[in-house]
Amino acid sequence: MPNPDFIQSGPGPHVAYFKTVDVQAVGETLVAFANTEGGLLVMGLNDDGTPIETKIEPYKIEQVLKDADNVCNPPVVVGNIEHTEMESGMVYTVHVQRSTELHALTDGRVLIRSGAKNRPLGGQEILKLASAKSTGDFESEVVSGATKESFSPRILEEYLSKRSERTKRPMGGDVDELLKEIGAIDERGKATMNGILLFSDYPQQWLPHTSIIFVKFVGKTPRGENGLAGYTRREELTGPLPRLIENAWNLIWSEMAISAVVKSLEREETTEYPQFAVREAIVNAVCHRDYRLKGRRIEIRMYSDRLEVISPGGLPGFITVENIKEEHFSRNPRIVNGLFQWGYIEELGLGIDRMMEVMEKAGHKPPIFDARPYSFAVTLFNQRQQQEAPKWVRNTNHRQARALEYIRNNGSITNREYRSLCEGVSAETLRLDLADMVDKGILVKLGSKKGTYYILK
């Protein structure tokens, strides 16, 4: 019998192991899980994931949970005790849901889950978390005029299939009960905000602010020349959240420059931005935007030197730019869980870490995070570590030397930029200059048509 997922992942933001049923330790973890993203208490495991030698009786777990309630203020609601059979024994698990209330211990401490530990919050952090909790369960609000018939059968079937793959359990039972469990419909069968965003073919019928705006700019600023628009493409993306993620990714991919090098007789393509970093920026914006803000939409701005993904709503709860890598808290936990079950999130809580890692591995500057009261932006830069221009004294003319100096200072050059450097020279001559340096292996040509530019090889 294969081990369950919580053994493979180990203790972390959403899983806690207990080898003894200690009331204080259980109470602290109940508070920490309820204040953050919820989690799973696993009773009867050592730190390394092996079952303890002495069996814990279920009635003892029930008593500990009851006693732990007395150290939590207010009490934390938990699920039923479940038996989980492993290869080497039996363990017991208890699900703890994220709470809309602010929970503390009777000694006054307010805890959150940080990695595999419970961390007490300071005064300002408590105020920020309390403010986030007081907004209520916005995802569960009913959308006026929408019912479960507003859901697309095709999209719902896709979700159920992906969920079964993720959980490794075939979907059985009443679908309506599952929809209630995940907060897609309420007890009366009315569609919620969460359900419409995930499963409706066109959520924008009810929620027009949930589309995504994509703009591709020519240069490094939104301004064009002579007062003209500075962009070459503008698209509005609509549909349910999973389709928004896919369509945004496909649009960026279609506009992304791709270069190629040959290593060991094999052609290797290098994208302008690491694929994971781009997808993670999109997924984070869709998952964590503040859907209560109706006057703004997610914006994706693609400049010549960077990609910006701007999400309505500041950072939630106690999250800051300084602790964004270590701490995790979402204002939309049901949306996050839905997209996780769908497969758009690989592992909860680890996306920012890996985004920074892949950017560094590809030789890019680290992402820039800009948190403001009503927006949060992620900026990815496409320039890799700047290369020194070689001395092509005998292989280049004076115009080409100027172009190389320009690239060394700015990272790249376009045909238009080259013409501005060499006024009075015909466009055809300058085009041949650039083509000559590509043929000689000095430059690499990226992009196509009006988006063409050149970098040092």
- Average pLDDT estimate for 132-159: 90
- Do 283 and 360 share a structural domain? yes
Report the pLDDT value the prediction gives residue 266, as an integer from 0 to 100. 54
The answer to whether position 26 is within a domain reads yes
pLDDT, tens digit, for every residue of 312-370?
Answer: 999 988 999 988 888 888 889 899 999 999 989 876 667 888 899 899 888 899 999 99
For residue 418, give its domain range.
398-456
Same domain, 248 and 370: yes
Q: What is the pLDDT of residue 348?
A: 67
Cis-peptide, bond into residue 74, ω within 30° of zero: yes
Give the CATH number of the domain where residue 313 resides.
3.30.565.60
Mark which of 153, 184, 205 sits at the end of a domain: 205
Q: How confident is the model at residue 393 (pLDDT cuts 50, 70, 90)?
A: very low
Report the share of the chain in percent with pLDDT over 70.
91
Q: Please tell me whether residues 226 and 366 are part of one structural domain.
A: yes
Same domain for 73 and 191?
no
Q: Which helix (H) or strand (E) holds 376?
A: strand 375-381
Quick: pLDDT tens for 3-54.
566 776 788 888 999 988 899 999 999 999 999 989 999 998 888 888 888 7
Same domain, 195 and 213: no
Alpha helices in 168-215 (DSSP H): 175-181, 193-199
Q: How high is the pLDDT of residue 228?
A: 65
Average pLDDT value for residue range 281-294: 94
Closest CA to 26 of 8, 9, 39: 39
Q: Is 125 found in the same domain as 9? A: yes
Number of CB atoms found within 10 A of residue 360's CB: 13
Question: Rounded CA gap, 324 and 371, in Å?
Answer: 11
Is the residue at 270 inside a domain?
yes
Are 364 and 265 members of one domain?
A: yes
Q: Is residue 390 part of a domain?
A: no
Mean pLDDT score of the chain:
87
**pLDDT attached to residue 1:** 45
Q: Is residue 155 located within the same domain as residue 121?
A: no
pLDDT digits (tens, 9 = 90+) for 122-142: 989 999 999 888 776 889 999
Last residue of a domain, one of 381, 406, 436: 381
Task: Specify whether 224 is located in the same domain as 323.
Answer: yes
Q: Is residue 230 located within the same domain as residue 173? A: no
- The total of structural domains in the chain comes to 4
Task: Answer yes or no: is 386 within a domain.
Answer: no
Indicate the SS3 state at residue 132.
Answer: helix
CATH number at residue 441: 1.10.10.10
**Residue finishing a domain among 186, 205, 224:** 205
pLDDT digits (tens, 9 = 90+) for 215-227: 999 888 887 666 6
**Is 173 among the domain residues?**
yes
State yes or no: pLDDT of 268 exceeds 80.
no
Same-domain check for residues 11 and 128:
yes
- Give pLDDT tens digits for 412-430: 899 989 988 888 888 888 9
Residue 388 falls inside a structural domain: no
Say yes or no: 183 and 48 in one domain. Answer: no
Whether residue 391 lies inside any domain: the answer is no
CA distance 123 to 252: 42
Round to whole Å and give the CA distance between 318 and 354: 21
Report the pLDDT value the prediction gives residue 109, as an integer from 0 to 100.
96
pLDDT tens column, 194-204: 999 999 999 99
Task: Identify the helix (H) or strand (E) that includes residue 73.
Answer: strand 72-73
123 with 104: CB under 8 angstroms?
Answer: no
